[in-house]
């Protein structure tokens, strides 16, 4: 069974005006689809790399044969990261976290505001293509950035919330203004799903 592109849980226009429909459509049907296609091409015939979910492939990255580690890192990571990204956004979302995410963030960062400042600074300062992440690392919440499509799962960290800061994620609407995109993105963060992911990870 080859890996496949997941449907979005909402319309391409659902995140307007914060993330525009055209960006969402290209991001999902072109960029994400390409990661899926290139992953499948790279591991064709390698049945032991066909997991039910691509996250399990990334968790077992150490066991991936050397000759396909590069494409699995890039395209498996791209598939895993974008699958998470769509799920942690929603229309009529944003605002302050509640429940486990709220208490976990307060414990780890002092307050939601301090967490947001750290996350924004990390996402803004990341040089070139990559992602900013809220991860659970050895039971502790942390904010990190990783280059390209590197998955936190490769190094044993569990991604809870992630922001794509590749230019393809925002350039149509925000051009070079990455900080404006980051600020707008908080309006579509799906805290219910963040809570689900945090509960599952703990």
Contacts with Mn ion, residue ranges (CB under 5 A): 164, 166
Min CB(11)–Mn ion separation in Å: 19
Min CB(48)–Mn ion separation in Å: 28
Based on CB atoms, which residue is closest to Mn ion, 97 or 130? Answer: 130
Min CB(145)–Mn ion separation in Å: 14
Distance, in Å, from the CA atom of 21 to the CA atom of 106, rounded to the nearest integer, reads: 33
Q: Whose structure tokens read 């750290």?
A: 118
Is residue 126 classed as helix, strand or coil in its secondary structure?
Answer: coil
- Residue at shortest CB range from Mn ion: 164
Based on CB atoms, which residue is closest to Mn ion, 143 or 163? Answer: 163
**How many other C-beta atoms lie within 10 A of the C-beta of residue 125?**
11
Distance, in Å, from the CA atom of 68 to the CA atom of 3, rounded to the nearest integer, reads: 16
Based on CB atoms, which residue is closest to Mn ion, 92 or 176? Answer: 176
The pair of three-digit structure tokens given for residue 54, joined into one six-digit string:
């691509």
Min CB(53)–Mn ion separation in Å: 19
Based on CB atoms, which residue is closest to Mn ion, 112 or 166? Answer: 166
Min CB(31)–Mn ion separation in Å: 5
| Residue 91: Cβ-neighbour burial (10 angstroms; 0-12, 13-18, 19+) | middle
**How many other C-beta atoms lie within 10 A of the C-beta of residue 89?**
24
**How many other C-beta atoms lie within 10 A of the C-beta of residue 50?**
16
DSSP state of 94: -
The pair of three-digit structure tokens given for residue 98, joined into one six-digit string:
């509640």
Based on CB atoms, which residue is closest to Mn ion, 39 or 101? Answer: 39
């Amino acid at each position: 069974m080859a890996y496949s592109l997941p449907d979005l849980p909402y319309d391409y226009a659902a995140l307007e005006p914060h993330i525009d429909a055209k960006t969402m459509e290209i991001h999902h049907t072109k960029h994400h689809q390409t990661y899926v296609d290139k992953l499948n091409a790279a591991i064709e015939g390698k049945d032991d790399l066909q997991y039910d979910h691509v996250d399990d492939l990334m968790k077992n990255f150490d066991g991936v044969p050397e000759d396909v580690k590069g494409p699995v890192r890039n395209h498996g990571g791209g598939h895993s990261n974008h699958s998470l990204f769509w799920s942690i956004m929603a229309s009529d979302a944003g605002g302050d976290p509640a429940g486990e995410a709220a208490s976990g963030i307060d414990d780890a960062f002092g307050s939601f505001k301090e967490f947001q400042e750290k996350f924004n600074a990390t996402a803004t300062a990341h040089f070139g293509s990559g992602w900013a992440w809220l991860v659970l690392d050895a039971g502790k919440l942390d904010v990190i950035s990783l280059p390209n499509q590197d998955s936190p799962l490769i190094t044993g960290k569990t991604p809870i919330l992630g922001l794509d800061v590749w230019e393809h994620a925002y350039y149509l609407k925000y051009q070079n203004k990455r900080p404006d995109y980051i600020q707008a993105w908080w309006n579509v963060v799906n805290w219910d799903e963040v809570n689900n992911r945090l509960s599952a990870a703990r």
